[in-house]
Amino acid sequence: MSRKVYLHLTFRIKQFFRIFNLQPNFGWTFLAIAILLYYVNLGSNVYYTILFLILVFTFHLYRKDIHFLKKVFPNNWRLVLFIENACVYFLILLTVVNRNIDLIQVVAVFFLVPLSYVKSITKPSKVDSLNFIPNYLLEFKSLYRSKKTGLYLSLLLSTISGFHPFTLFLFAVVTTNCLVMAFNPSENKELLIAYFSKFSLDFKIKKNVLVLNVFLLPTYIVFLCFNYLEIVYLIYFVLSINCFLVLLISEKYKNYLANEPENFYNISDFIVHTICSLAIIPALVMINLNKNQANINIASYVKNYQPYR
């Protein structure tokens, strides 16, 4: 049994590094979180412990391999599941090696035991009606349809992230990846024509920026309540995350091709957009250039397109 578990964990480690190559966005997110955890001091190890447990809980909810574990370890799959979750917890714990690791953080691993009895989200949530989301919010509507539970969890994490400047920018990393997930797919030519025959690119940008900020409103309120003396961090966060979204949308339609199901958005684009959004001014310059080219590209598909309606 012990040898079988050892071989299984070795396989998991190899699989972990393989994901970095196959899913570069995952690797970039993990690296960004690790750097933030290393350099930013939350002030108390209790905060780290709570944050790490939340990260492991989120990881567990979206696991799709529990059925595989049941087949490989029919009698001990819950124990193996606990060991895997514990390894993830300690892996995250090692990212703050420059801090003192106390007994509380080590003992907290036992809070992961009940997690072995929590079912993961293996299927998209059923949505009775999406009529409350306007049709002009295509991407958010699609994201809500496929990842309803994940969005509610993100809303909870969004609220929690407002307690500290560090958690605020940690959540920003998660948010940018969710935005990429929502806006990377390209709509078909017929849908593009139908959409931009009624609305302009500016209209789309304004409405999506509004939705994003409504979603992040709990974060803003909580941050102002607990960190009102550090409001400059919140202002910087709002400007950066909104610049990232507008860059993402303008880049999508600048490079839109009717015969491609997805935008060619890769890790280098993500890094460039992130750096520009953090610098603000380069992002504004890129947005202006992208919008002009995007309007030209849209006009090539949509007759009588009016970019400033």
Q: What is the DSSP code string of 157-213?
A: HHHHHTTSHHHHHHHHHHHHHHHHHHHSBPPPHHHHHHHHTT--HHHHHHHHHHHHH
Q: Which residue is it, tokens 């989120």?
A: 58
Whether residues 222 and 241 fall in one domain: yes
Q: CA 174 → CA 41, 53, 169, 201, 206, distances in Å?
A: 19, 16, 9, 25, 22
Q: Specify whether the CB–CB gap between 287 and 250 falls below 8 A.
A: yes
Check pLDDT > 70 for residue 1. no
Q: What count of other Cβ atoms lies within 10 Å of the Cβ of residue 300?
A: 11
Whether residues 167 and 284 fall in one domain: yes
- pLDDT, greater one: 245 or 31: 245
Q: Which residue type is seen at 99? A: R
CA distance 297 to 255: 8
Q: Would you state the pLDDT for residue 121? A: 60
Mean pLDDT of 289-300: 91
- The total domain count for the chain is 2
Whether residues 217 and 153 fall in one domain: yes
- pLDDT, greater one: 239 or 1: 239
Structure tokens at 202: 């500016």
Sign of the alpha-carbon dihedral angle for 138, 144, 150, 152: positive
- Domain boundary among the residues 69, 95, 119 is at 119
Whether residues 82 and 141 fall in one domain: no
Whether residues 131 and 110 fall in one domain: no
Structure tokens at 246: 């507008």
Domain that holds residue 4: 1-119
Whether residues 84 and 96 fall in one domain: yes
Whether residues 184 and 107 fall in one domain: no
Whether residues 218 and 271 fall in one domain: yes
Q: Would you state the pLDDT for residue 20? A: 59
Whether residues 110 and 146 fall in one domain: no
Check pLDDT > 60 for residue 25. no
Does residue 153 come out as left (phi exceeding 0), alpha (psi in the -120 to 50 range) or beta? Answer: alpha
Chain segment 200-233, per-residue pLDDT in tens: 899 999 999 998 898 888 888 888 888 888 899 8
Helix (H, G, I), strand (E, B) or coil at 262: strand
Whether residues 134 and 218 fall in one domain: yes
The whole model's pTM is what?
Answer: 0.65
Q: How confident is the model at residue 236 (pLDDT cuts 50, 70, 90)?
A: very high
Q: How confident is the model at residue 285 (pLDDT cuts 50, 70, 90)?
A: very high
Percent of the chain as helix, strand, coil, to the nearest 5: 75, 0, 25
Average pLDDT, the chain: 79
Q: Specify whether the CB–CB gap between 195 and 298 falls below 8 A.
A: no
Whether residues 178 and 40 fall in one domain: no
Whether residues 150 and 212 fall in one domain: yes
Angle between helices 201-215 and 217-226 (to 10 degrees): 50
